[in-house]
Amino acid sequence: MNSVFWPDTRHISLVVLLMLVLLSCKKNDDTIATPQTITDHILEDNQFSLLRAAIAYAEVGDVLKGGNLTFFAPNDAAFQASGMATPAAIISLSKDQVKTLVLYHLLYGSIPSSTIPAGLNSIATASKGIAYVNKSSDGKLFLNNAQVIQADIAVANGYVYTIDRLLTPSTGSLLTTIQANPNLTFLTAAIKRIGTNNPTLLATLNNELSTNTVTVFAPNDAAFQSAGYKDLSAINSANLQTLSNTLLYHVVSGVLFSNQLQTGTVNTLLSGNKLMITSTANQLAIKGNKNSTAATIKQANLPANNGVIHVIDQVLQP
């Protein structure tokens, strides 16, 4: 049988994508778009080469030319910090994943910073997720855990804000997000187990609306195993009230992204019990009343439509 050589289409896609990015970087003063849309601004600003690659791969350039939009644009440093330091890393994801990623940074409406209320405000994104805009008391502006480093860049169809982090899109409720995480199978089983004993907590975690928001410090599977739950059967045989109190102790009212966590104590949903937070330049640690050492955050700032999750490496003890 004759063999047939099939070219590596992923490699060809990468070459084409790189050519598009390089060509977009060669615009000179004679080819600058006037008036300039969000897409034009991204094409013509050298700090957005990786964002250009993502937009080209996801084929959403025309979406960003629509009317009355606000785009929080991650710069190259934001992509690099997230582990997507090259166009090749971007196209290693599916086209739909990158489309959702880009559109999560897009808000409907022309929103100058002067109209953003103080405090934390939830807002729907073009990816049909929920993001949280926070204007601090000193005037700093954040979207989820990303800080705005350049605001109010006016373009023909709205505004561009430059941000220093690539955002993780929200994809549903806190419960949906926990269930989808392969490192949180023990926590998923624990929530299912206490559902009939504590339907209020279950409803809070499964709320699809951005009301009654909470922050969940979610112990990963290794944390549960270290705490004595050797397998999922141990979750299913655990005392219901003890397990329910343990889960309540990991939940805090309101949305607290990592940049909002400060050294001090926070109240949990387990009445009368607090968590101790230690925040340094290099690490965030969370300690329970009876833990001998503090837990560290292994995966931070996983947004959901009704709050945020921080994956931790210990089960916290009230």
Mean local confidence (pLDDT), 52-78? 98
CATH superfamily, with its number, for domain 9-163: FAS1 domain (2.30.180.10)
What per-residue confidence (pLDDT) applies to 167? 97
What per-residue confidence (pLDDT) applies to 17? 53
Give the tokens for residue 157. 């169809």
The Cα 152–Cα 243 span in angstroms is: 48
* pLDDT tens by residue, 122-167: 999 999 999 999 999 899 999 999 999 999 999 999 999 999 999 9
Instruction: Assess whether pLDDT exceeds 70 at residue 250.
Output: yes
Note whether 9-163 and 174-312 share their fold: yes
Instruction: Assess whether pLDDT exceeds 60 at residue 78.
Output: yes
Instruction: Assess whether pLDDT exceeds 90 at residue 281.
Output: no
| Per-domain boundaries in the chain | 9-163, 174-312
For tokens 């005037």, the residue is 139
Instruction: Assess whether pLDDT exceeds 90 at residue 91.
Output: yes
What per-residue confidence (pLDDT) applies to 276? 98
The Cα 115–Cα 254 span in angstroms is: 23
Percent of the chain that is helix, strand, coil (3-state, to 5): 35, 25, 40
* pLDDT tens by residue, 219-241: 999 999 999 999 999 999 999 99
Which are the contacts of 96, defined by CB distance < 8 A and separation ≥ 6? none
What per-residue confidence (pLDDT) applies to 33? 53
- Under 8 Å between Cβ of 284 and 257: no
Give the tokens for residue 82. 């997230």
- Alpha-carbon 117 to chain mean position: 22
The Cα 291–Cα 302 span in angstroms is: 24
The Cα 51–Cα 222 span in angstroms is: 35
Mean local confidence (pLDDT), 40-66? 97
Instruction: Assess whether pLDDT exceeds 60 at residue 249.
Output: yes
Instruction: Assess whether pLDDT exceeds 70 at residue 24.
Output: no
In the chain, the amino acid numbered 302 is L
Instruction: Assess whether pLDDT exceeds 70 at residue 22.
Output: no
Q: Where are the beta strands (DSSP E) in 188-281?
A: 214-219, 251-253, 264-267, 274-279
Identify which of 211, 301, 210 has the alpha carbon closest to the alpha carbon of residue 261: 301
In the chain, the amino acid numbered 194 is I
The CATH number of 174-312 is which of 2.30.180.10, 3.40.50.360, 3.30.1360.10, 2.40.160.20? 2.30.180.10
